[in-house]
Amino acid sequence: MNNDVRARREDRGLSQAGLAEEVGVTRQTINSIERGRYDPSLELAFTLAAFFECRIEDLFDPDGDDAT
């Protein structure tokens, strides 16, 4: 699954550790999500979408196409 987490994080000037602290996970979790090695739980996906003020579908692309 592709996602737009890295671009949105960088747009806000946050480090992986900073985003992790904001959403209550480890930096390694954010790194794994950004690299596509880990699909977040539904709860974490909602938390990230709320943080970035977008819909989950805007943040994650389950079809694996380029995220926008």
9-66 pLDDT, tens digit per residue, is 999 999 999 999 999 999 999 999 999 999 999 999 999 999 999 999 999 998 865 4
What pLDDT is stored for residue 68 in this prediction? 41
What pLDDT is stored for residue 64 in this prediction? 66
CATH code where residue 37 lies: 1.10.260.40
66 falls within a domain: no
14 falls within a domain: yes
30 falls within a domain: yes
From CA 47, how far away is CA 30, in angstroms rounded? 12
What pLDDT is stored for residue 63 in this prediction? 82
53 falls within a domain: yes
64 falls within a domain: no
Domain that holds residue 40: 2-58
65 falls within a domain: no
What pLDDT is stored for residue 62 in this prediction? 84
* Residue 16 contacts residue 25 (beta carbons within 8 Å): no
From CA 35, how far away is CA 3, in angstroms rounded? 9
pTM of the full predicted structure? Answer: 0.89
63 falls within a domain: no
Number of domains forming the structure of the chain: 1
